[in-house]
Structure 1
Amino acid sequence: MSLPRIAIDAMGGDEGVRVMISGAAEARRRHDKFKFLLVGDEERIKRGLDSHPNLRAAAEILHCDDVVGGDEKPTQALRRAKTTSMGLAINAVKTGDAGAALSAGNTGALMAMAKLALRTMPGIDRPALAALMPTLGDNDVIMLDLGANTEADARNLVQYAIMGAAYSRILTGLEQPRVRLLNIGTEESKGTDRLRDAAAQLQAATGLALSFDGFVESDKINRGEVDVVVTDGFSGNIALKAIEGTARFVTDLLRRAFTSSIRSKVGFLVSRPATELLRHHLDPNNHNGAVFLGLNGVIVKSHGSANEKGVANAVAVAARLLEEKLTERITADLAELHARNGNGHGAKA
């Protein structure tokens, strides 16, 4: 079965065209149903396609030589939404010329452009950025919001829980993913008023396709005890950076320890299978592909430093969300909640 094509901002990311083209080609090798609209400088894209005939046969080029800068303010980028590779990739989703858009460029600009072009879904006040993180359990954990909105009230958090659970059901196959709110403790009395209010709404709601059981602390996010962690974008982004930093610290510490002496180098050779497993588990390229949930269309954000494997994984995320009809699932969940609970989106905190 062929999927709607995926629009790729070929100019975004640390390495731009080379890694985006190579990543799309890798995704095409894995699944020949993928088709692409490659947006960016036509000459550079064509040169990149020379090494990937399998991709060239499944891709169309939309020429554009204007690029959103990595440090460009979202308000500045918005003024050039109709001329930049990022803006044109998003617009392809709006017009139906593509089913999803993928960019490794400026996150703030991508969020601003996508929200303006696609608008939020009915029943969703604010979109959220959701990403996968590794755990000790059988499945990755989904965390949202990771920076789309620095603040969130109880109503927003309930909507995030519904969207995150829909995404988790696609990835894990679980009928009722375990959803928790990120807090400074697990006791019901802990946290801000909006956190306690959101928890009360989720506990009282019926018809939710999720299992809610209160709060989770940040040191339990990766234990495999929860499938979806819900928080505001400020706390979520801090937690994500802390987790990523800890992972780099552990790997750098191990590298330093294993190269400190001849004996430790011998120890490294003995333990290499275990350390390779650790490296693979912590490699962000294996979990690449954050998603803006709550928009009328699928927008995926690749990490700016992702390699071709990471870009291919982000393409796979976009394709799966199209195949499993994520936006339709969220719409159905919101409608079900509203039908069972009246004003199912909760009161403003």
Structure 2
Amino acid sequence: MSKRLFNFCAGPAALPEAVLQRAQAELLDWQGKGLSVMEMSHRSDEFVAIAQQAEQDLRELLVIPDNYKVLFLQGGASQQFAQIPLNLMPEGGSADYIDTGIWSRKAIDEASRFGNVNVAGSAKAYDYFAIPGQNEWQLSADAAYVHYCPNETIGGLEFNWVPQTGDVPLVADMSSTILSRPIDVSRCGMIYAGAQKNIGPSGLVVVIVREDLLGRARASCPTMLDYAVAAQNDSMYNTPPTFAWYLSGLIFQWLKEQGGLDAVKRINDAKQKALYSAIDGSELYNNPINVADRSWMNIPFRLADDRLDKPFLAGAEERGLLNLKGHRSVGGMRASIYNAVPQAAVDALVAYMAEFEQQHG
């Protein structure tokens, strides 16, 4: 039997071993039906039950209010960069965006194709190492919505507060932070999240949208991209990514078995504290992010001498510590410690970092 190694990939990310084992056991014959979930009609009673259970479990985990629709869509979070203005920004309208890193800027660039984007706040003045306080923002009175990315996967910059936008709907890209701890869904008009970090495998994006925001799509919005159409058809206007949906449902069940998001928060808090403590207590490693704005899920760090990067990564691979290389746009290292990454993985990484520093410090 092959050995499972510790995977720190930013996405597609580690999946819970118990979930993979269950999926493996059900792969050829799902619950005695004689076929795989991948071979089922998405309109069969069996798959509809899988989909409904997944939604119910997600609603329970996040305590999603009844006046929000939960959509399981395709195209990933990047497709939402266009889908959001097509649905929420009227022709000739405008929206406010907060720039805190690469994913925020991608959203800004795409939305600019569909209307006027006001960059109401930016971390550029802080070299993207800190989040500007809302007192520094210039929000518009006529914005259709305010968009922000609570956690920047690449830069490791995270909001520890929720913006106040009054009656203007707040739209949040929670791809790399959703399900890591409890959130107040009602603070947002819409939340979206690519699945391949804390939800499930790639190929799926979850959208949680307040019902009063449905039906606002501009006339030019393609039918497949209209949230109202998706909601009316229970996310099955066309054939959805059924296997990714099923696996996500298994992960929701697994999270409930861990004790829900209060328990998950305690685990994740312990993991991030252990890793940041190792970085801050070192003379070889450093994390440049303002302490109050540090990400729990994506922890970038650099070595004092870039020439040590390759030997560090080689040694990590030898010890079964995978995917620690930082994003190509920023370099250095990055450890993504999503829900499925256990404390043992963080402990192993911390031990290796100490060993490497002793040898090369």
- TM-score normalised by L of structure 2: 0.27
Higher helix share: 1
